[in-house]
Structure 1
Amino acid sequence: MQPLPLRDIHLPEPVSWWPPAIGWWIVLAATLLLTAAAIWLVRRRRRVTVAKLALRELNALQTDSTLGMTEKLRRLSALLRRASLSAHPREEVAGLTGEAWLEWLDGPLKTPRFSQGAGRALLDAPYRPVGEADMDSLVALCRDWLKALPETVVSSRKKPTPTRELVQKPTARSDSAPAMLNVPPCTPALLGTDSNRSRRFMHKLRSVLKS
């Protein structure tokens, strides 16, 4: 029998890893998007804003049982004032008092809840007693108002301490020191001991010659 004319078996070439299949591109894009979203959420939660700090202080003030109603109202009014000055231009807020102050507080909520609602306790407290129910309504109103504040990020940079200012003062004096030395070259302040002796000797010599 004659052998059959069979050819050798040729294996296919290995599949190249590049370019990757469309599925891998989708997985990569989804991973990048999820990572970016997670970083943005973490930074947003860690960011310190005026509203966050004021809300923390409001919660601590509400749960403080050692303070009376009058003192709570005083601190609550001061908290709203400080938050307003931090989130809005000073010239817009600093001069507001009385009814004008309450009407300005109505602005972010678009309703007269300060000038005609529970917020009037901030103005009427010296003239009428404030009960627990009124205080709870006022705190809830202040919480809604703080949440409506513009998102103002609190800067982490600190102002120079008095110690740093004291350290900088000698530098300013040392900068001005060379100007104090700009005296005429013939004054005794810049002459040495030998120069003074020479001048006295020349003066005596001239006196002898003239005589």
Structure 2
Amino acid sequence: MNPQDPLAQLRDIQLPATGGWWPPAPGWWLLAILTIAAVLAFAWLWRRQRRKLRWKRSAWSELQQLESKARPAPEWFAALNALLKRAARQSHPEKHPEAMTGQQWIDFLLATAPKDRIASRPVVEAMVTSTWQPRPGAQTEQALAFARTWLEAQSCSVWLTRGCCYWHCFRCCLVTASARANRWMLRSFPSGTGCPECRA
């Protein structure tokens, strides 16, 4: 090696170290925080809705008990109507069904029934009037069939409608978080410059 040669004193080119995956770019931190917040919000809403629908499980359990003790007696039909009123108070609180009696209660049950309202009218009328008749004219099998159909419709309408809304909100939160993160990246690092990790 010639000590007088200046080229011999040059060192090899040192390439810059490539950026690793950690720490992530600020945009990914923002997206992670928003995603976690959306998941926690969805979990809170789900638990809150589950507590609200606790009446549904209780109503089905009580209906099964009434089915096991079915008998054509005014007391039994009164208990069945009381069960439906408690369920209606939970699914339609704005209409105050617990205060309804007679024809008003019959019309409410038919109006909130999912199907066969005309065919169900004789069954519902007999079920309601049997609560005070010494000899009930309603049949327990028909009354139970209507009660099951009606109760199932109330629970489905509440859970599916609100559940779909919560799922839609959850998806909207994720899309919004991703869009905000992308806008932040574009503002912070204009096109062509890239983020610090990419430039490393």
- TM-score of the two chains, using structure 2 as the length reference: 0.51
Report if aligned partners of 1:113, 1:119 keep a CA contact under 8 Å in 2: no
Moved more, 142-151 or 13-22: 13-22
Q: Distance in 1 between matches of 2:98 and 2:146?
A: 26
Structure 1 gaps, min length 5? 152-211
Q: Distance in 2 between matches of 1:28 and 1:146?
A: 38
Report if aligned partners of 1:85, 1:94 keep a CA contact under 8 Å in 2: yes
Question: For 1:9-48, what aligned pairs fall within 5 Å after superposition?
Answer: 9-14=12-17, 25-26=27-28, 29=31, 31-47=32-48, 48=51
Moved more, 6-15 or 107-116: 107-116
**Aligned position for 2:70:** 68
**Aligned position for 1:128:** 137
**Aligned position for 1:58:** 59
Distance 1:85 1:99, change over 3 A: same
Structure 2 gaps, min length 5? 162-200
Report if aligned partners of 1:55, 1:146 keep a CA contact under 8 Å in 2: yes
Distance 1:55 1:85, change over 3 A: closer
Instruction: Tell me which of 142, 146, 159 is aligned to 1:137.
Output: 146
CA deviation vs aligned residue, 1:88-132 (integer Å, no higher than 9, x gap):
247x54552212112123344576738626533432434314143
**Aligned position for 2:86:** 82
Compute the displacement of 1:60 (Å): 1.0
Report the identity percentage: 18
Report if aligned partners of 2:88, 2:97 keep a CA contact under 8 Å in 1: yes
Higher helix proportion: 2
Matched AA of 2:117: R
- Superposition RMSD on alpha carbons, in Å? 4.2
Q: Distance in 2 between matches of 1:122 and 1:35?
A: 51
Compute the displacement of 1:36 (Å): 3.3
Q: Give aligned pairs, total.
A: 147
Distance 1:113 1:35, change over 3 A: farther
For the pair shown, which has the larger CA radius of gyration, 1 or 2?
1
**Aligned position for 2:121:** 116
